[in-house]
Amino acid sequence: MKNILEIENLGLNLGSNKVFSDVSFTISSGEVTAVIGPNGCGKTSLAYSIMGLKEYKPEQGSIFYKDENINKYSIDERARKGITLAWQEPPRLEGVSVRKFLALGLESQKKEVTEEQLESVLKEVGMSPHLYLDRNIDDTLSGGERKRIELASILIMEPELVILDEPDSGVDIVALNNIGTVINKLKEKNTGILMITHSEEMLKYADKAVLLCHGEILKKGDPQEISVFYQKECRDCEVDDYKSHREKRQQMQAEVKNIG
Amino acid sequence: MDDYKMMVNAYKEAGGEDVFSDSEVAHVVLERDNVLGSHEVEGLEVNIKKREKGRVQVEIEVAAAAVIKNPVHMCFGVLPEKGLQIIDMEVNIGRGAEIEVLADCIFPNASEVKHIMEAEINLAENSKYTYRENHYHGEEGGVEVQAEAEIMAAPNSYFYSVFSLLQGRAGKISFDYQADLDAHSTLEMLARIRGNNEDEITIREAGVLRGKGARGILDSKIALQDKASGEILNELTACASNAQGHVDCTEVIKDEATARAVPIVNVEHPEAKITHEAAIGSVDDTKLQSLMSRGLNEEEATEVIVQGMLKG
């Protein structure tokens, strides 16, 4: 499968803090690449750098989307090229209806929106169009409801590359099934998916995985192997200072190499 | 084209519905001090008296227990570039009566227009009055609006008002509504205004929750850009047991716009409660970037957020 995104030696500092460095991996069309790691390892910052948020402009490395270096493009320019992000905590948009919000992604691409499309994507995430289309995305909706609407807004856009930032956080078990449905729908449309997660449960949806530790790639490859490794080595990891962590990581990387 | 048609056309262009030929919908069309059209329905009486030049008195009476089915449309305005319109309005809602009024104030060609509204609104027991006032002032900013109202709400009555200007220039707006509420009556007073260029907007909403169990919400939102300035002075007082209320002042600014918000809450009874919030700042970055990740540029995303805030 053709690579839709190539990340080469990407590095980001926020102030004097290193967030991630030397991050390289690829994402293919119609495939799910998961970036997994414990809280604070730099996953969401990596997602924001790829999406082009202005505070997360990488200092090192390159992002190639469909063979074009997109480092210079802003968030909306990247979105119009076919990249989008499903936010971990979708914001409340007072006075903006679900109908309006879902339509925006197509209208920005100068595409027409039909009632049928709006209803269809809401049904895909298990929401009744009749009950939700004319509601506002404000504090009358729960975080879980906003999350489902966020996923519906991704489906309607039919992006070529989507970043799902912690898609399972803050949703109930029913909604977890909807996430699986959304991922499968996106794959059917040949969308490349970057899934950010700290839960090994979510790796079942992934075709390949990247394990991030303190802003550096510890291991990448088969999701099941990464899942086993993550459960064994990372979940109960008690190393909390960066220097010791680096030493432990180097030791583990050497072990991985020897086994390989 | 006669003045009536011009007013109706301007009204429609400003987003108003074409209701003036519907016999079941009461309406008043007033251009400066000229009554261009009016229609009453059962239970509603409207008397308009011309006073000195530019000034009219409008009296609205809703009979006790009358429930006016369709919203009453009032279209006020000044068509020429220059002009004066002063409206002294007295509204009396009878016991148990209900009415909704949609007032559109349109000054599409204004370069030097003054519109003054002084209203006295009395709600009898168990009555309900909903008043939606939409303004369209054209693109030149040549309108000065002074709107003042005193509202007296008897026990168990309900008063809702929303003053909005969402398109074009605001010019100079000074808005001052004051309500006094008896027991178990409810007040909801909202203002939604956007200003640009050198518009000047001052809003004062005030309520006194005098009776036991009275409820009040004062909610003002202004969006400002360029060199526009805005000031919100909202004040809510609770004087009786179980009187409860909330004051909200929100202003979003960009460019060289300036804003000031002063929410004042007074509680004069130990079993009363009033909360307040005030926020002034630019458009929230998280919301902005969320919309930009759907392909909207910064200006388009800001517009969606501001329009949403003003409609919400």
What angle (nearest 5°) sits at the alpha carbon of residue B307, between those of residues A159 and A133? 55
CB contact under 8 A, B295 and A109: yes
d(CA B312, CA B310): 6
Q: Please report residues of A whose CB lies closer than 8 A to that of B305.
A: 93, 96
User: In degrees rounded to 5, what are phi and psi of residue B298?
Assistant: -60, -40
Q: Where are the alpha helices (DSSP H) in chain A?
A: 43-51, 75-81, 98-107, 115-124, 129-132, 143-157, 173-188, 223-229, 242-259
User: In degrees rounded to 5, what are phi and psi of residue B88?
Assistant: -100, 115
3-class SS of residue A104? helix
Residues B57-75 pLDDT 10s: 999 999 999 999 999 999 9
Nearest-CB residue to B295 (from A53, A76, A100):
A76
As a three-state string, the secondary structure of B211-260 is CCCCEEEEEEEEEECCCCEEEEEEEEEECCCCCEEEEEEEEEECCCCEEE
Average pLDDT of the segment spanning B210-237: 97
Average pLDDT along chain B: 94
Q: Which residue in A54, A75, A88 has the most chain B C-beta atoms within 10 A of its own C-beta, making it the best mutation to test that interface?
A: A75
Residues B154-210 pLDDT 10s: 999 999 999 999 989 999 999 999 999 999 999 999 999 999 999 999 999 999 999
User: Would you state the structure tokens that stand for residue B208, as one six-digit string?
Assistant: 């006194």
Pick from A44, A37, A57, A117: nearest CA to A86: A44
CA distance B300 to chain A (A): 9
In B56-88, which positions are buried (b, 16+ CB within 10 angstroms) versus exposed (e)?
bebebbbbeebebeebbbbbbbbbeeebbbbbb
C-alpha dihedral, B276 to B282 to B284 to B289, nearest 10°:
170
d(CA B211, CA B185): 8
3-class SS of residue B87? strand
Pairing mode, if any, of strands A93-97 and A192-197?
A: unpaired
CB contact under 8 A, B304 and A90: no
pLDDT above 90 (res B13): no
DSSP B167: S
Nearest-CB residue to B294 (from A74, A92, A104):
A104
For the sheet containing A68-69, what is the strand order? A17-28, A3-14, A60-65, A68-69
Q: Which residue in B286, B293, B302 has the most chain A C-beta atoms within 10 A of its own C-beta, making it the best mutation to test that interface?
A: B293
- Say yes or no: A182 contacts chain B, CB-CB below 8 A: no
Q: Please report residues of B whose CB lies closer than 8 A to that of A109.
A: 295
d(CA B176, CA B147): 6
Entry field: residues in chain A: 260
d(CA B162, CA B269): 29
Q: What is the pLDDT of residue A260?
A: 45
pLDDT above 70 (res B226): yes
Radius of gyration over alpha carbons of chain A, in Å?
Answer: 19
Residues 287-306 of B with CB under 8 A from A: 287, 289-298, 300-301, 304-305
Residues B243-293 pLDDT 10s: 999 999 999 999 999 999 999 999 999 999 999 999 999 999 999 999 999
3-class SS of residue A186? helix
Is the separation of the CB atoms in B109 and B7 below 8 Å?
no
User: In degrees rounded to 5, what are phi and psi of residue A151?
Assistant: -65, -40
Confidence check on the interface: ipTM exceeds 0.95, yes or no: no
Kindly report the pTM of this predicted structure. 0.85
pLDDT above 60 (res B50): yes
- Say yes or no: A136 contacts chain B, CB-CB below 8 A: yes
Within a 10 A sphere around the Cβ of B198, how many other Cβ atoms? 16
B287, closest residue in chain A (CA to CA):
A91
Contacts of A253 (CB under 8 A, 6+ apart): A218, A219
CB contact under 8 A, B294 and A80: no
Residue ranges for chain A with pLDDT beneath 70:
1, 174, 238-250, 252-253, 255-260
Instruction: Compute the 3-state secondary structure of chain A and give helix, strand, coil in percent, each to the nearest 5.
Output: 40, 25, 30
Contacts of B187 (CB under 8 A, 6+ apart): B151, B153, B159, B179, B181, B207, B209, B214, B215, B216, B217, B218, B245
DSSP B142: -
In A107-139, which positions are buried (b, 16+ CB within 10 angstroms) versus exposed (e)?
bbeeeebeeebbbebbebbebebeebbeebbee
CB contact under 8 A, A90 and B296: no
- Say yes or no: A96 contacts chain B, CB-CB below 8 A: yes
